[in-house]
Structures are given as structure tokens and as C-alpha cells.
Amino acid sequence: MASDHGAFMTKFILQPAKPSPGLPLNGLTFAIKEMFDVEGQVTGFGHPEWARTHSAACSTAPTVLALLEAGATCVGKTVMDEMAYSINGENKHYGTPRNPCAPDRIPGGSSSGSAVAVAAKLVDFSLGTDTGGSVRVPASYCGIYGFRPSFDVVSTSGVILMTQSFDTVGWFARDPKVLKQVGNVLLKSPQVDYVRPSQIIIAEDCFQLLSIPADRVAQVLVKAVEKTFGGHVVKKTTLGDYVKDNVPSLDCFMSKGGDENVYSIPSLAALSSAFRLLERYEFKTIHGEWVEKVRPDLSPGISERIWEGIRMTEEKVDMSS
């Protein structure tokens, strides 16, 4: 673990087909979470039983190919939480990657190895996926940059999905310039339609949750939005008012109270409860049959969440929608 901080599952070299100094990512190296397909390799999804029961990929994920075509070199696949179902960054089968920023702390997950590989300067950037924080959390824990674009902006073809409605390809970098360079490649691919926002909501009550002065952060954000899109798109409100006016289906979660011990904003608690319900149900629809057949050895917390989702009925989802 000392040499690579336990970040890698497998190491290999995928070189760009036509290296050129003119390519935007020329000379940069990257690693990929073990959810991305590479032709001829089994995509292990963070669990040895998954790897044992699945065949090698027939093709490489388009996102990986786009980075190779832009001049970058892929050097391996990284450790992740089992089946992407945790944000701790721990894996009972493959070990927990060591956080270079705080060696006595967890690295965050589920894209743990991808974040650690960047933080440890083993690669210039890396790919992860984010369902409910799996890029953003490890980036913050490891002291690097992490970016989760809007849902469905970057192709998830050739990526094992945890859920079909939330999974998003994201990336890590130490240098914000590299973060932007990768974004220029992945966000400007032919399948991405750039749309200027007609309105950007600033949820002022959420900024009050920060441990640093909220006004300072909000002002930076508002100025950046105004510079990029114009001041006319900015609308300041509270998350509670926005949810009340635009998402009436969350009323049932509001009435239940949600996780009041965790969130001081009831609407945020309601959103969290709705997300967890849908996340578990969608995981069941994609992977429930395999879990029930194989009954893989899972960490306690992950096992609890997965089996709770498998026992969930469609009626429960319908009643809450």
C-alpha cells in the first residue's frame, strides 16, 4: 500500500492512439474507477463476487476513449466502495485507500481510489461516478478538486450504474486548470447540447449551513453567475419556498419530518428522504436479481441498505410519489 496508497485495483497502460503535442490532454495521466469498462477486462464494481460472475467487457467506455483521443494516458483502475453503495471510501475485500491529506482519516467514497490517486500525485486526474456525493465527498476529504456535472451531460455508456436516474460521471484533479481541461474534453463532446440557463436559484438558507461566513461564499457565486450568464438569471430564495412552490410531491416527506437531527432545513431533509427511497429502489431494479442469486459478502452498512431496498415494494414508491 505504501507505494500507491492502496488506490489501485489493477495497473495497465492505455496510450492515446495518436500522441501529439497539440492535443488538449497530451502528456497527462489518469486512472478510472472500477465501474468503467475497458475492452478485454472484467469491470469488478468493487466486489470480488461481481468480478467472478461477470465476463470481460467487449468495448471501452466512450468517456475513457474520449480522454485517450485527447492525448491522455490511462494507467489503471482504482479501488471503490462495494457496489458504489457508501461514501466512506472503505472496502472490506480490497482495503481502504490511504488518504494522503490525512492518513489517519478515511478517504471518502465511493470513488475513493480515484481521489487518492490524484491526491497522492500518482496521476494528473481521474474519473469517478457520483450518485449522492461519490465524487464531491472524497474530493473534499482528500483536499483536491472534484466536479460533478449535471445529470446525463457526460455519457454513462460502458459504466456500471448504481441507479439510472442519479449516476453521473465526474472527475478529480489537483490543479484547477487540469480540471477545466478535462471538462473541455468531456463537456464539449458531440452528444452534449449546451443550453444557457434561464434561471439560477440561489438557496440562501442552505448557505447558512456553512461553517464559514455564508455571505462571502454566496457573493462569489452570484458574481460568477452574473459574469457568465448575466444578472437577470439570478433568483434568490430559500430551498423551503422553492420546494413548496415547485415540488408538491415532497409534502409526504415533509410531514414525516425527515432526518431532523441531521438537517436543520425541513425541505432538505425531505429531499434526502426522497432521494434515499429512489436510490434504493433503483438499485434493486438494476442489481436486485444478482444480489438475491449470489448473496455476496457485504459490509454491514452496505448490506443493510441493499437488502432494505430489495425488500422494498413498488407500492411504497408509488405511495411516496
Whether the predicted pLDDT of 108 surpasses 90: yes
Confidence at residue 189, expressed as pLDDT on a 0 to 100 scale = 60
| Contact present, 200 and 225 (Cβ < 8 Å) | yes
Confidence at residue 251, expressed as pLDDT on a 0 to 100 scale = 77
Whether the predicted pLDDT of 1 surpasses 70: no
Q: Which whole number is the average pLDDT over 223-232?
A: 94
136-183 pLDDT tens trace: 999 999 999 999 999 999 999 999 999 999 999 999 999 999 999 999
Confidence at residue 319, expressed as pLDDT on a 0 to 100 scale = 54
**Domains of the chain, residue spans:** 8-186, 200-320
Check residue 37 and report its DSSP letter.
-
**In the chain, % of residues over pLDDT 90:** 75
In which band, very low, low, confident or very high, does the pLDDT at 266 lie, cut at 50, 70 and 90?
confident
DSSP string, 168-209: EEEEEESSHHHHHHHHHHHTTSTT------S-EEEEHHHHTT
Instruction: Kindly tell me the sign of the dihedral angle through the C-alpha atoms of 25, 31, 34, 37.
Output: positive
Q: Which whole number is the average pLDDT over 234-257?
A: 82
In which band, very low, low, confident or very high, does the pLDDT at 257 lie, cut at 50, 70 and 90?
very low
Architecture of domain 8-186: Alpha-Beta Complex (3.90)
Confidence at residue 256, expressed as pLDDT on a 0 to 100 scale = 53
Is 321 labeled as catalytic in the residue annotation? no
Candidates 86, 110, 126, 273; catalytic one: 110
Confidence at residue 223, expressed as pLDDT on a 0 to 100 scale = 95
Q: Which whole number is the average pLDDT over 120-139?
A: 98
| Contact present, 35 and 160 (Cβ < 8 Å) | yes
Confidence at residue 261, expressed as pLDDT on a 0 to 100 scale = 45
* DSSP three-state, residue 9: strand
How far, in Å, CA of 10 to CA of 75, rounded?
A: 9
Q: Which three cell numbers stand for residue 282?
A: 433503483
Confidence at residue 53, expressed as pLDDT on a 0 to 100 scale = 99
Cell 434493486, located at residue: 284
Is 33 labeled as catalytic in the residue annotation? yes
Does this model's pTM top 0.85? My answer is yes
In which band, very low, low, confident or very high, does the pLDDT at 293 lie, cut at 50, 70 and 90?
very high
Is 284 labeled as catalytic in the residue annotation? no
Candidates 33, 77, 86, 284; catalytic one: 33
Q: Which whole number is the average pLDDT over 47-70?
A: 98
Candidates 86, 134, 267, 273; catalytic one: 134
Confidence at residue 192, expressed as pLDDT on a 0 to 100 scale = 58
